[in-house]
Amino acid sequence: MATTIFLSPGEQMPDRRNDGPWLLLEASDDGRFFGTGAAWTPSGEWVGYGSLSEDDGTLADALATAERWAAKYGVAAIWVQATP
């Protein structure tokens, strides 16, 4: 299971985009949480993560969906910016 790391207001996720799989959930002004991320399959194929609107409603929903994707693609940490 991926570790969930909550960022302080205004703090950015460390730039890990070239170091391996990553996943970020960001709060929006309307209270929803949008996820983005990237990983690679064992064969080296890139796979991207973009949350779906039905999964963006609450942090709990967004995090549950992100955790499933992280488990599937070996993402070690999910970064969360809980404030817009």
Q: What is the pLDDT of residue 62?
A: 95
Alpha-carbon span 48 to 54, nearest angstrom: 18
pLDDT tens, N- to C-terminus, the chain (84 residues): 899 999 999 999 988 666 689 999 999 999 999 999 999 998 999 999 999 988 888 999 999 999 999 999 999 999 999 999
Run of H or E residues at 59: helix 59-73
Q: What is the pLDDT of residue 17?
A: 60
Percent of the chain that is helix, strand, coil (3-state, to 5): 20, 35, 45
Alpha-carbon span 2 to 71, nearest angstrom: 7
The residue behind tokens 């999964």 is 55
Q: What is the pLDDT of residue 16?
A: 67
For the chain, domains (ranges, CATH) are 3-81 (3.30.420)
Q: What is the pTM of this model?
A: 0.89
Alpha-carbon span 4 to 79, nearest angstrom: 6
